[in-house]
Amino acid sequence: MIEFSEEQKLAISKAQETFSKIKEDADLLNDKQLDLLFGQARSMNGWKDQDVSNEILYSLYELTKMGPTSTNSCPARFVFIKSDEMKEKIKPALLPNNVDKCMTAPVITIIGYDLDFSDHMGKLFPHMDVAPMYKGNSDMNFATAFRNSSLQGAYLMVVARALGLDCGPMSGFNNELVDEQFFSGTNIKSNFLCCLGYGDPSKIFFRLPRFDFDEVCKIV
């Protein structure tokens, strides 16, 4: 049983109050908004010549960081590449098919995971000492870092769409090369890339099929 301090108890009741209030007052997303996030949202292959401001990247992170991760581990690390110099640095790591799509994007995001994420558990999960659970089990450490950074990358894409941006996710690149160029001297590894910008509709392909509910879901 966890013993909470008075300060923590106060923070718990405040959080409960905030959550109840937001659920009472909030409207559900309408169909158009759901289409922007998922229903009609598309992966991008080309981009309009329109800058993505640093401000929108800050806003993007502020919401992305609130997505849930196990033991609040927040293992994802994000590098937003905007400069031509850094784009040239990542270029040799890209599969040929992905070069144009990436190099014309206003932003190439590297979504990485920090294998030393548990060094921060004192800040992120202060009411329980969970760091040894990760430090003592490298399989669990990797699975937690990889799983949760993938989730955080997905949160980033959904938030980006909610903020009016478009996304071009990519795993067709040489991870070792990206790690060497961008994360040397750290224990951070690249997971996937996500180009961000304002999509060029003329570069969109036909929509690929998805599974129907009965093909992949069960209610038991």
Among residues 31, 207, 209, 211, the one that binds ligand FMN under rule CB under 6 A: 207
Among residues 169, 175, 179, 181, the one that binds ligand FMN under rule CB under 6 A: 169
Nearest-CB residue for ligand FMN: 172
CB 197 within 8 Å of CB 44 = yes
Q: Could you tell me how many residues of this chain bind ligand FMN (CB under 6 A)? A: 10
- Binding characters for ligand FMN, 83-122, by CB under 6 A (x = yes): ---------------x------------------------
For 174, residues 6+ apart whose C-beta sits below 8 A from its C-beta are 92, 93, 94
DSSP string, 105-123: SSEEEEEEEETTGGGGHHH
Helix spans in 44-163 (H): 54-64, 84-90, 96-103, 121-124, 131-135, 138-162
Sign of the dihedral defined by the CA atoms of residues 130, 133, 139, 140, in that order: negative
How far apart are CB 141 and ligand FMN at their closest, in Å? 22
Q: Which residue stretch of 6-14, 23-31, 121-129, 169-177 sits at the interface with ligand FMN (rule: CB under 6 A)?
A: 169-177
Among residues 40, 137, 138, 171, the one that binds ligand FMN under rule CB under 6 A: 171
What are the residues facing 182 on neighbouring strands?
none
Task: Say whether residue 172 binds ligand FMN (CB under 6 A).
Answer: yes
Q: Which residue stretch of 76-84, 113-121, 131-139, 164-172 sits at the interface with ligand FMN (rule: CB under 6 A)?
A: 164-172
* The two structure tokens encoding residue 16: 């409960």
> Rounded to whole angstroms, what are the CA distances from 120 to 28, 129, 166, 203?
35, 11, 31, 42
CB 76 within 8 Å of CB 113 = yes
Q: Give the nearer residue to ligand FMN in terms of CB position, either 11 or 143.
A: 143
Q: Give the nearer residue to ligand FMN in terms of CB position, either 16 or 171.
A: 171
Interface with ligand FMN in residues 14-53 (CB under 6 A) = 42-43
Interface with ligand FMN in residues 181-200 (CB under 6 A) = 192
- Strands 188-197 vs 166-170: parallel, antiparallel or unpaired: antiparallel
Binding site for ligand FMN (CB under 6 A): 42-43, 98, 169-172, 192, 207-208
